[in-house]
């Protein structure tokens, strides 16, 4: 092989490398665009499988098999209701699937850190854990002292990022505060308020399109230690109990919210963004948990609120797939949990929304877990949009009101505005015999005095052609008041300029 052949081979290799590099750049740009679209508009659904407990691991069959980083196969065991109904396996696709050996830091970097970065730029976000009881939700959110969950890591990340961002950002975050709420038996309580013998339920209200909890205590956070103290205070106050499935079962939904304030200028008010990290109580069956009395009531409220949240997601998806004439009302107001999530689902300034689905691979929980995966698959198809309609909307834009229904697009017309319909003349309804006398109102008298003589004569000439004689009204004593009113209205419609032709 001579030098020219070597030169041609080198050129071909260089061209091939350049083509591969160009393809890689295009794929990276497409992936980045898709991630940005998903971050802003779609609900990100991630699956986290918890390890099986050691005594039961030997007897358990593999019910959930990870096919790839985004695909999961659910194979029903012979003891499940799904096996008796269909007996077929079900495949699901999600944003990402984390296996049993996934570390807490890896989960935080993939799910919660992008939400915090968006909040530091001024966009609110939501991260919540969802699943059946004893599936690892509380471990995912709170963790332990050796393996902290996404919530303690979020506090540490924000407090570490603030000093660095104050130097480079034009509008840095000036202060951080937190609220910690608990939804117990469909009542909202403050976990950061002083411990009282009888707690006071808080009111959830809508204030100019923003969902607010009236009376919630907002504690400032200046250091990481202060934030961890708030977490510990909330842990002591929240409701937990022992069941047959979980020795430390959460009996309420816990919502921890970080409020980030930015000072735009000395003369403008502060801009606020927030990140809510939610530990949902697990859905459960009383026959398996052995719940009775108060525990049964708690389970009923938990299951009802979770079911209502999933129904809201299903209705939002329905509204996106159907025309405005078939829109349904999204039942946000039927539970406190869905009410708090409303702003993140259909709000004006919503940011990323991440749903961490905790999966217990045990065959005993297969039916409940399969139902959870089906609801999560519906949530993954949801595309969130703005709620308000701008003055000039794009033809392809879609907007929703605060109840999640499509708003009708207003069309800008270039035609002249329609002539407003004039009100009925003032009529004295004091009946004397069979006569009804029409008297001018004080407003009409004042208007009559302000009009010039020429306009007055012109209006008189127009009205005299259509107005009947007053004597004719008295010639029909059996004429009803309705007919008289219709005749008076006919006078007004004949003269569409003013009321001066009327007596």
Question: 465 and 358 in one domain?
Answer: no
Q: What is the mean pLDDT of residues 100-117?
A: 94
According to the model, what pLDDT value does residue 409 have?
45
* pLDDT over threshold 80, residue 380: yes
Query: Of 357, 380, 403, which residue constitutes the final position of a domain?
Result: 380
Which position has the higher pLDDT, 434 or 249? 249
How many other C-beta atoms are found inside a 10 Å radius of the C-beta of residue 3? 7
Q: What predicted TM-score, i.e. pTM, was given to this entire model? A: 0.69
Q: Which residues are annotated as a binding site?
A: 131-138
Average pLDDT over residues 29-55: 68
Q: Is residue 67 part of a domain?
A: yes
* pLDDT at res. 33: 46
pLDDT, position 176: 93
Domain-located, residue 206: yes
What phi and psi, each to the nearest 5 degrees, are found at residue 383? -115, 120
Together in a domain, 357 and 449: no
- Residue 427: domain span: 423-503
Residue in the block written with tokens 């003891």: 79
Are residue 368 and residue 488 in the same domain, yes or no?
Answer: no
Task: Mark whether 149 and 281 lie in a shared domain.
Answer: yes
The three-state secondary structure class of 292 is coil
Does residue 132 share a domain with residue 71? yes
Is residue 261 one of the residues assigned to a domain?
A: yes
Decide which of 380, 415, 450 is a domain's last residue. 380
52 domain-assigned: yes
Q: How many structural domains comprise the chain? A: 2
408 domain-assigned: no
| Of 276, 203, 188, residue with least CA distance to 239 | 188
The predicted-structure confidence for 409-453, as pLDDT tens digits, reads as follows 444 444 445 555 555 555 554 444 444 444 555 555 454 455 555
Let me know whether 363 and 429 are in one domain.
Answer: no
CATH code of the domain in which 354 resides: 3.40.850.10
340 and 489 inside one domain: no
Residues 253 and 310 both lie in one domain: yes
Does residue 40 belong to any structural domain of this protein? yes
CA-CA distance, 58 to 276, in Å (whole number)?
Answer: 39
Residue 443 lies in a domain: yes
- Note the pLDDT tens digit of each residue in 290-336: 666 777 888 888 889 999 999 999 999 899 888 989 999 999 999 99
pLDDT band at 500 (very low <50, low <70, confident <90, very high): very low
**Selection from 409, 437, 448, 444 nearest residue 423 by Cα:** 444
* CA angle (142, 144, 150) in 5-degree steps: 35
HSE, CB side, 13 Å, CA atoms: give it for residue 360.
25
> 317, 345, 380 — which closes off a domain?
380
Which two structure tokens, joined as six digits, stand for 287? 């026959």
Q: Please give the C-alpha separations between residue 302 and each of 211, 242, 281, 282, 368, in angstroms, as whole numbers.
A: 21, 15, 7, 7, 14
265: its two tokens: 């200028």
Residues 427, 365 within the same domain: no
Whether 88 and 230 map to the same domain: the answer is: yes
- φ, ψ at 265 (rounded to 5°): -150, 175
Q: How many CB atoms within 10 Å of residue 455?
A: 13
Q: What band does 216 get if pLDDT is binned at 50, 70 and 90? A: very high
Task: Tell whether the model's pLDDT for residue 242 goes beyond 90.
Answer: no
Tell whether 242 and 342 lie within a shared domain: yes
Is residue 63 over pLDDT 50?
Answer: yes
- DSSP for 315-376? HHHHHHHS-GGG-----GGG-HHHHHHHHHHH-TTEEEEEEEEEE---GGGHHHHHHHHHHH
- Which pLDDT value is given to residue 206? 84
Domain shared by 350 and 467, yes or no: no
Binding residues for ATP: 131-138
Helix H or strand E segment including 110: helix 104-111
Q: Comparing 219-223, 330-334, 401-405, which segment has the lowest mean pLDDT?
A: 401-405
Tokens, residue 115? 């939400």
Q: Is 402 within a domain? A: no
């Amino acid at each position: 092989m001579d030098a020219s052949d070597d030169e041609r081979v080198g050129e071909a290799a260089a061209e091939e490398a350049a083509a591969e590099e160009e393809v890689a750049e295009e794929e990276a740009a497409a992936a980045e665009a898709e991630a940005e679209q998903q971050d802003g508009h779609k609900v990100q659904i991630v699956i986290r499988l918890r390890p099986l407990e050691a005594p039961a691991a030997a007897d358990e069959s593999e019910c959930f098999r990870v096919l790839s980083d985004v695909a999961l196969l659910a194979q029903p065991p012979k003891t499940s209701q799904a096996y008796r109904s269909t007996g077929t396996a079900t495949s699901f696709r999600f944003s990402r699937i984390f296996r049993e050996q996934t570390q807490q830091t890896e989960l935080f970097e993939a799910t919660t850190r992008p939400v915090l970065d968006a909040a530091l730029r001024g966009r609110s976000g939501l991260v919540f854990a969802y699943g059946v009881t004893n599936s690892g939700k509380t471990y995912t959110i709170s963790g332990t002292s050796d393996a902290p969950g996404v919530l303690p890591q979020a506090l540490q990340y924000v407090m570490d990022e603030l000093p660095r961002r104050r130097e480079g950002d034009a509008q840095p975050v000036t202060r951080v505060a937190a609220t910690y709420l608990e939804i117990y038996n469909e009542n909202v309580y403050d976990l950061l308020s002083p411990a009282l013998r009888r707690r006071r339920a808080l009111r959830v209200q809508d204030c100019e399109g923003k969902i607010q909890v009236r009376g919630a205590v907002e504690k400032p956070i200046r250091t990481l230690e202060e934030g961890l103290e708030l977490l510990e205070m909330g842990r002591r106050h929240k409701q937990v109990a022992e069941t047959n499935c979980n020795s430390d079962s959460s009996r309420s939904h816990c919502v921890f919210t970080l409020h980030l304030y930015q000072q735009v200028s000395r003369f403008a008010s502060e801009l606020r963004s927030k990140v809510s990290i939610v530990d949902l109580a697990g859905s459960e069956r009383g026959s398996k948990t052995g719940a009775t009395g108060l525990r049964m009531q708690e389970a009923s409220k938990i299951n009802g609120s979770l079911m209502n949240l999933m129904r809201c997601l299903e209705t939002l998806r329905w509204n996106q797939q159907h025309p405005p004439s078939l829109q349904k009302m999204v039942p946000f107001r039927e539970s406190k949990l869905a009410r708090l999530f409303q702003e993140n689902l259909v709000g004006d300034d919503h940011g990323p929304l991440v749903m961490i689905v905790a999966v217990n691979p045990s065959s005993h929980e297969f039916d409940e877990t399969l139902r959870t995966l089906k609801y999560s698959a519906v949530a993954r198809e949801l595309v969130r949009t703005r709620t308000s309609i701008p003055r000039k909307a794009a033809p392809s834009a879609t907007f929703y009101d605060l109840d999640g229904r499509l708003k009708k697009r207003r069309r800008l017309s270039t035609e002249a505005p329609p002539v407003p319909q004039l009100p009925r003349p003032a009529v004295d309804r004091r009946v004397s015999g069979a006569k009804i006398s029409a008297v001018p109102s004080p407003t009409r008298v004042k208007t009559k005095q302000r009009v010039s003589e020429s306009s007055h004569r012109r209006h008189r000439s127009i009205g005299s052609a259509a107005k009947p004689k007053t004597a004719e009204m008295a010639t029909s004593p059996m004429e009803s008041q309705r007919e008289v009113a219709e005749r008076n209205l006919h006078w007004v419609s004949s003269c569409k300029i003013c009321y001066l032709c009327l007596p």
